[in-house]
Structure 1
Amino acid sequence: MLDVRTLLVPLVLTAIFSAGALCLVNRQNLPVPGVARWAIGNAIGAVGMFFSAAREVLPDFLGVVASNSLIVLALVFLLTGFQQFVGRPSSLRPGLVLTVIVAVALSYFVYIDPSISARVMIMSAISSIFSAISAWFLLRPGPSPILVRRICGMVNLSLSFFYAIRFYVSSGETITDFFSGATFIVGVHLFGFIHILINTFAQLILISEWLNADLKRQASADPLTGALNRRSFGLAACKSLAHAERSNEPLTVLLFDLDHFKRANDTRGHAFGDELLCRFAALAQSSLRTEDSFCRFGGEEFVALLPNTDAKEAVVVADRLRRTYAQDESARCVNGTVSIGIASFIKGDSLDSLMRRADSALYQAKAAGRDCCILAPNDAGIAFVPAREVVSPA
């Protein structure tokens, strides 16, 4: 039979290794959310497990109360780290309050009514709940990497079930010696070792894949506005055009130009100009669908590609965005408006030909006094028409 002390040694060493690896990642100033709390959680957990392993030579306060309270605090940091990683709000305050409550409860079952079984039940219940919450955050839809998050989530879910069983067994069994070597106690620590090991590698893989995904985002996005760059837009547009050609589904391009942007940039400064660009990009991206492609085309020009959208529907989208931007606080400071050229896909169109027609429509919008949407002629010979005459906005 394995000795519990023997199992606690690799538990402590694994937690130290995990904390060290995560600290190294954090010291690189990489923008991965949650890493700092994971590192702190593993470090605190290592100290707690060390106190637990040395409980025979330590006072009960350190060997029992402090060790288990530190393990709860470690779970708090690990859980809030997962919350940060998946982009959820996180606060340490409730966890700190819980840690104090646990410390008081453990003190009661050490000094007033000594009971190892009760202490095991407390720790099992808390560990089960924390593991279940971690699994819930990881298994919910969220940012990539999806596969690794699911694996890590399933590990935490299985751990939650294990601790629930541990709670149930402890409630009907009197434990007189924590280091007795009973199969149940050994199994608890063996599973704990496996869990820490898997979670450590899962955290490192999550970090690696998050960084890879972030590099891809940086390579495909405009660094100022977060919109697609021209290269990524070109790739997405070619796929959409090919699909429209095969399926005969409508496809429309919107070409935007912020009116009098240079004047605002010169009079209010480049920082204000950057703010205008970012605000317009944010408004546009919130107005468009996930399947639409939105790109900063250059300077103050943006372009949106709307699959499965005909000219009439695109006019509504464009004019709604035109009015929304004109009412934005940043734009109103400089009477900012936007002109929009709209062109619909015609059989045989290339991206260049479609963009040329949208650009011609944009030129007409500028010539018509700006702050309007103009629909380019299609193959039926429809003339340039102000969009608000095509559709009456709601």
Structure 2
Amino acid sequence: MTPHPSTPSVSSTSDTADALIYSHIKRTNPKALLDIFPREKCRDLERNDHNVNPDLLKTMWKTYRSLNKVIPKPQQEENVDAGSWKADVMHERFCGLKDRKKSINLAIFHHFRSKMDFKALGELFDVATRKEFEKLMEKIDVPRIERMVAFRRLELMKPKKRDFVMIFKCRLCKKELKGLGQPFLEHVGTHEDIASYCFFQGCDKHFKSYHCLATHIIKKHDLRASELNSTQYHQLQTAKLEYYNKSSTFMDRYFPPESFVRFNDRKIFNLRTFEEQKCQKCGETCVSILSRRRHVADHLGWSNKCIIEGCEMVLPNPLDVSAHLTHFHKRKVKDLMKEELYAHKKAKVEFNKMMKEEIPKYFPMKAAKKEDSDLVDPCC
């Protein structure tokens, strides 16, 4: 029983979970069906049982397990939320179970245990197994079957709907949000106490999200990120990193896979996909957005020295900084010192300004008919 692929709902996910459990019990313990499901429910499930893939529970578990990687234990000196890490580890323990049959039975046990359906548990599991699973659930965060259904459905739809924005509904306030990442992390701040404090001397304001803090700095202190000095910019980036790290720990509470509503009915069109791929100066073809920017930088002879003191490496453009830091210095941009981060920011601002002026000369926009779409123009 498969709902319409583009508009799954909470009820359809729940119905699919019931169908999978019914099919599994029908094959393993058919006499228990009428003791677990009402007679009318059994009739409905039986009518649709031929549409249920008997191996789907196994496939869902394998998909869920393979896409949820084990999170390494943080170093003692790192400033981490121990409770958050413990929750991650408990979840990863489920993904690390190697006994497929036991994992599926544990998921079914959790399904009925969360509903306090002790009659169903008694029909499906003997006393020893129930005790074993109760102890396991103290150490393992077992995902709901509905969650695995939603997770697999999303994974199957993403390749087919890659040109459409995903829409999720907040589990608490029911607000719908498009896309992924930043808008969701900002929304979490409306429900959780994750304060972002203004770092300007004499200003005691604090805000429910990093975005509100950044807006405050522009409006109240009349400074954009590109205009901040090295100390201020480092403080701003630290505030951003701290907020997003904290809010990401609550993402599963408000936007789990089950909160997916539908794909937007308008395609995503990145404005830069309308750029010509053939260089107007030399005729070379550059397919990707980044390759076109690197190509223009080569034409202009633009380059900058590595921002790490003592490193003489000359990089063709800021787009290569992250890779250079990772491979040669074993660091990430977020780990840069105050002056290094400021130098990186200045190089990016200069590069982006130059690209805005020069790209149209080398790769002009195609003459294309604008469609009814969500237009996106990300920064360099």
TM-score, normalised with respect to structure 1: 0.27
**Structure of higher RCO (CA pairs closer than 8 Å, 6+ residues apart):** 2
Of structures 1 and 2, the larger Rg is shown by 1
